[in-house]
């Protein structure tokens, strides 16, 4: 794996300087008259692994999309490297839930397209094919190099999308539940790949998941969203376990169980509070 990564990245230059990579300031977002996000403030440090958690409808994916610059907030400002996303699209790799592969290109060709975009020095066709093969092997898709997206299962397409995101390079990655369609073993293997990318290349990663265990394994900090609409940040929680994390020892420890319960408790508290509030509003409306 290091052979692929070290070929294109000077890892010494990517050491964490702890400056803010992303700053979201007083972000609100509306869609068709519905307030989806309200008053979101969040700073993300360079090289940090941030996980966004919360129930469905809390605005996590919307917030992720705003961070990419593909959509703009109604109010507030998002800065990446101190530049507003109003003025430019951040140099980043994005993995959405819908795979977003080019259906007329094979898995290999999708990766080569990303490589051509990022590599400053021209490569021969054979060199590009070899690199694409290596990235696909990282996600256990070495056997599917010549397959088109329509010939692959949903899990295979998602792995190809992750390989393409890795090939795009850049020091910023956005991932929206990228492992949801994968079997447990492949999910664990790709979690380890992403952790190595974060550690060795100091890429800043923002990752959406509903899985508390996955969040704890991956994150430096977990950003908990309230049920929406509108979604707000309920709490930002530091993960107290040092990296690299021994998965087996960690998940079997009492400290892990207590911390996972704390994460779930925060989420459940916000859900119950939302339900109670909705019931009060409904009861009031029926009395009119």
Query: Tell me: the pLDDT tens digits for 90-122?
Result: 888 888 877 678 999 999 999 998 888 877 677
Among residues 226, 220, 222, the alpha carbon closest in space to that of 202 is found at 220
Query: Tell me: the pLDDT tens digits for 2-13?
Result: 444 443 444 344
Look at residue 196 and tell me if it is in a domain: no
What Rg do the C-alpha atoms of the chain give, in angstroms? 20
* pTM of the predicted protein model: 0.84
Q: Which residues form the domain of 211? A: 17-92+205-286
**Percent of all residues in the chain with a pLDDT value above 70, rounded to a whole number:** 87
> What's the CATH number where 244 sits?
3.40.50.300
63 in helix, strand or coil?
Answer: helix
Look at residue 252 and tell me if it is in a domain: yes
When mean pLDDT is compared across 132-136, 226-230, 265-269, 283-287, the lowest value belongs to 283-287
Look at residue 179 and tell me if it is in a domain: no
Query: Tell me: the pLDDT tens digits for 64-81?
Result: 999 998 889 999 999 999
Please say whether the beta carbons of 242 and 231 come within 8 A: no
Section 200-207 average pLDDT: 92
What domain count does the chain have?
1
Residue identified by tokens 């990655």 is: 173
C-beta contacts of 11-16 below 8 A and 24+ residues apart = 11/200, 11/201, 11/202, 14/47, 14/171, 14/201, 14/202, 14/203, 15/47, 15/202, 16/45, 16/46, 16/47, 16/48, 16/202
Look at residue 29 and tell me if it is in a domain: yes
Look at residue 225 and tell me if it is in a domain: yes
């Amino acid at each position: 794996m290091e052979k692929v990564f070290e070929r294109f990245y000077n890892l010494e230059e990517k050491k964490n300087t702890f400056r803010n990579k992303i700053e979201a300031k007083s972000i609100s977002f509306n869609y068709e008259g519905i307030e989806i996000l309200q008053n979101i403030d969040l700073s993300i440090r360079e090289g940090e692994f941030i996980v966004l958690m919360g129930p469905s409808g809390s605005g996590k994916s919307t917030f992720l999309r705003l961070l990419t610059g593909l959509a703009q907030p109604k109010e507030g400002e998002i800065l990446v490297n101190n530049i507003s996303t109003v003025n430019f699209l951040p140099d980043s790799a994005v993995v959405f839930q819908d795979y977003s592969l080019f259906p007329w290109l094979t898995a290999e060709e999708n990766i080569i397209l990303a490589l051509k975009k990022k590599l400053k020095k021209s490569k021969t066709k054979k060199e590009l094919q070899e690199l694409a093969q290596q990235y696909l092997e990282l996600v256990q898709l070495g056997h599917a190099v010549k397959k088109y997206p329509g010939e692959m299962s949903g899990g295979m397409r998602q792995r190809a999308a992750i390989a393409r995101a890795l090939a795009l390079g850049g020091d910023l990655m956005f991932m929206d539940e990228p492992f949801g369609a994968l079997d447990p073993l492949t999910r664990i293997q790709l979690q380890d790949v992403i952790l190595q990318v974060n550690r060795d290349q100091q890429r800043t990663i923002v990752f959406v998941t509903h899985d508390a265990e996955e969040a704890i394994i991956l994150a430096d900090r977990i950003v908990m969203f309230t049920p929406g609409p509108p979604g707000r940040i309920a709490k930002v929680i530091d993960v107290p376990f040092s990296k690299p994390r021994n998965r087996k020892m960690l998940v079997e420890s009492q400290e892990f169980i207590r911390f996972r319960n704390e994460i779930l408790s925060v989420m459940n508290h916000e859900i119950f509070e939302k339900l109670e509030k909705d019931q009060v509003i409904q009861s009031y409306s029926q009395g009119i």
